[in-house]
Copies of this chain bind each other. A is one copy, B any other.
Amino acid sequence: MAAAAPPPPPSEAHIFLPETTPPGDTLFTRIRLATAADVPHIHKLIHQMAVFERLTHLCEATPESLSATLFPPSAPPPFTSFTVLMLELSPAPFAPPAAADPHFTPILKPVHLDLPIDDSDRADFTSNAPDVLVHDVVIGGFVLFFPNYSTFLAKPGFYIEDIFVRECYRRKGLGRLLLTAVAAQAAKMGYGRVEWVVLDWNVNAIRFYEQMGAKILPEWRICRLTGDELQAFGRINLG
């Protein structure tokens, strides 16, 4: 009977869960910028994504190579280059951000669950965030994106390379939340577009993206120069 509960004092305004709601029915989510401490989890998530896409034979990423390329010693500010947001999940509310981050304020959202979730991999995905004191906070997914540019708009945008939610947490609106975080950031920065790609036979994904307001461009095809064919260009005499 939430209507009968007394209103929380102002100092506890960040606690989303009224005491009358039974535990287990709400999953507290946080989306925050990734740090180098998240690399082991990012690597595991990329591996799970490769398994899901049956493309493990193409997955060469290691924690070391991800560290070197995503979190180099003199990393540019978030959103100006490769940027990763982590999705964290907790049975208890997250504390509000201690200090205003100049680049990104973590997004806190409670998600209501019909059934409790059995996360058998939770020991592998315990969050490494420094402000998390309990072991109940797990990584549920991530999104990796970076700026792109439209000459017609003369504006940057964002290109989403990967958006991934671990299997046991799917169909709860968490993928939508990650996509929304990127789109909201783009809109806030005055950017012109957010783009990503989808497989043409993945009709469920296409329907979902269209419901989010995206257009599918039917005529464009991706051209890719890679492997030996790309390396051969390094040997061409251009001097």
Contacts and interface: CB of A to CB of B under 8 A. Distances in A.
Interface of A: 46, 49-50, 55, 58-62, 65-66, 68-70, 76, 80-82, 105, 107-109, 144, 146-157, 159, 161-162, 180-181, 183-184, 186-188, 191-201, 206, 209, 212-226, 229-236, 238-239
A3 to B, nearest CB: 21
A213 B188 CA distance: 40
A222 B197 contact: yes
Nearest to A61: B154
A68 B49 CA distance: 38
Nearest to A65: B154
Given A76-B80, A196-B223, A198-B221, 14 more contacts: A58-B152, A65-B154, A69-B155, A80-B81, A82-B147, A144-B149, A146-B148, A151-B162, A186-B233, A194-B224, A198-B220, A198-B223, A214-B224, A215-B226
Contacts of A152: 46, 50, 55, 58-61
A180 B236 contact: yes
A198 B155 CA distance: 21
6 contacts: A61-B151, A144-B151, A151-B162, A198-B220, A199-B221, A217-B223
Contacts of A188: 234
Considering residues A81, A146, A154, A187, which has the most beta carbons from chain B within 10 angstroms of its beta carbon? Answer: A154
Contacts of A184: 233-234, 236, 238
Given A62-B154, A150-B161, A200-B219, A195 B238 contact: no
- What copy number does this chain have within its complex? 2
A209 B217 CA distance: 20
A229 B224 CA distance: 29
A197 B217 CA distance: 11
B187 A234 contact: yes
A153 B201 CA distance: 24
Contacts of A109: 238
Contacts of A146: 147-149
Contacts of A68: 154
Given A149-B146, A230-B183, A197 B221 contact: yes
